[in-house]
Amino acid sequence: MDLILNQGNWVELKFKLKKLYPQLTDNDLHHEEGLEEEMLRMVEYKLRKTKEELRVIIEEMGYSPMERI
């Protein structure tokens, strides 16, 4: 997916994901610099989505997979 996350916009994206998918917890969406792929794999697993499906969801929220979010 090549998402590079930063704390600035992550709070907004995290809120949107939790609103859309209430089964996601703060622990599921805990962001640590350099561990984004691990977190995203956990989200994919919990939502039963593929990497591509999650990329589309994030794009629909207004984020590009290659931009720093």
Helix axes 7-20, 51-60, angle to 10 degrees: 100
Write the pLDDT tens digit of every residue in 19-42: 999 999 999 998 777 787 888 899
**Which tops the pLDDT comparison, 46 or 5?**
46
For residue range 45-60, what is the model confidence (pLDDT) as tens digits? Answer: 999 999 889 888 988 8
Q: What confidence tier does 66 reach under pLDDT thresholds 50, 70, 90?
A: low
pLDDT band of residue 1 (cuts 50, 70, 90) is very low
Strands (E) in the chain, as ranges, are none
pTM: 0.76
